Amino acid sequence: MGKVNIKSIAAALNLSPATVSRALNDSYEIKKETKERVLAYAAEHDYRPNPFAKHLKTGKTNLIGVVIPFLSSPFFLEFIDELYKAVLPQHYTLIPFQTQNCEKIEKEALDFLIRQHVAGIIISPAHENSNTELLKHIHHHTCPVILFDRIQHDLDTYKIGIHNSLETYNATEELIRKGRTKIALLCGKDIGNTKDRIRGYKNALHNYAIPFREEYVIHADYQDPAENIDNELKEVFNKLNDTDKMPNAIVGGTDTLSIKILGVLTNLNLTVPEDVAVIGFTNTNLANYLNPALSTIRQPTQEMAGLALELLLALIDKDHDRRDLTYKNFLLQATTTYRKSTDI
């Protein structure tokens, strides 16, 4: 049998192509029994809708753009994987791009996606205000846009993340309760959720009457997690060590920094957790196999991906002016696991 399409289904079931098309699109005009016949035949013969044919008819495709900072980040890679699983039953296809935290690359990715007539875009912005006007124009006039993870952005739309301030507060508090008061926070420079994590860190120190020290908020500047930033981190901690300001605990604010800091500390002949306790944001499945096993704050990628797709599809189906809609932020629950790196 050749490729199954609407015409071949119509011929096999003695229906018109228009009836088959409406049945596949769950039209109210088609009887339930007819829909069931069409859907059963389509499933049995592995029918797949043609997104380009749909675009010619409706102006929409079954393509969804996903724009993330890094494909090499455990968190973003896991998010993409969960999103792929979620879109398959919906017969959508993902077009992923990574921006390497670069606003120019992000703009190029957005321009490309628009040329492909994507039905919608899910994005974790490169920076807090990256391509704000372009994203607003796309969301208002072209296709819906959903923000995830880095949600401190001026675009008015649905935003999905975690309570970064609270999670960082809890991690810092745990270290304080274990007797550590010289706590450093590792951050990615100019990353959208950094301000919230710094706020949670500062609040924990304040509530336990521990003075805030500017040198303990360390901003690492990198464009890709695969880059060798070990030397930058080693230089920072060597300086702290030489000036007798070495912290005795660290909260890692990104996937990359949370993983890399263990190796950096080892190279400085510092023992984890005896000399320095470490906990970090990371979704790596290898956390339990690192030396020592890393205490982690893990973001709920499956829930984030499912919700992002659900909200995006709802916006795709709406005919309303997206500027008139009321949006909300969704702050999901992260999971903290304490392992050897904080077993003081």
Q: Summarize pLDDT for 40-77 with one digit per residue, the tens.
A: 998 888 887 765 555 545 556 899 999 999 888 899 99
Please name the amino acid found at residue 110.
L
Alpha carbon distance 279, 79 (integer Å): 21
Mean pLDDT of 63-92: 93
CB of 100 closer than 8 Å to CB of 227: no
Alpha carbon distance 229, 282 (integer Å): 17
Average pLDDT, the chain: 90
DSSP β-bridge partners for residue 68: 98
Alpha carbon distance 6, 18 (integer Å): 9
- Kindly report, residue by residue over 283-340, the tens digit of the pLDDT: 999 899 998 999 999 999 999 999 999 999 999 988 788 998 999 999 999 999 999 9
Confidence tier at 227 by pLDDT (50, 70, 90): low
Percent of the chain's residues with pLDDT above 90: 63
Q: Examine residue 225 and say whether the peptide bond preceding it is cis (omega within 30 degrees of 0).
A: no
22 or 96: whose pLDDT is higher? 96
Q: Examine residue 273 and say whether the peptide bond preceding it is cis (omega within 30 degrees of 0).
A: yes
pLDDT at 226 over 70: no
Confidence tier at 233 by pLDDT (50, 70, 90): confident
Residue 72 makes CB contacts below 8 A (sequence gap 6+) with: 224, 225, 226
CB of 164 closer than 8 Å to CB of 200: yes
| pLDDT of 128 | 85
- Kindly report, residue by residue over 104-125, the tens digit of the pLDDT: 999 999 999 999 999 999 999 9
Q: How far separated are the first and last CA of the chain, in Å rounded?
A: 66
| pLDDT of 189 | 78
The enclosing H or E element of 56 equals helix 51-58
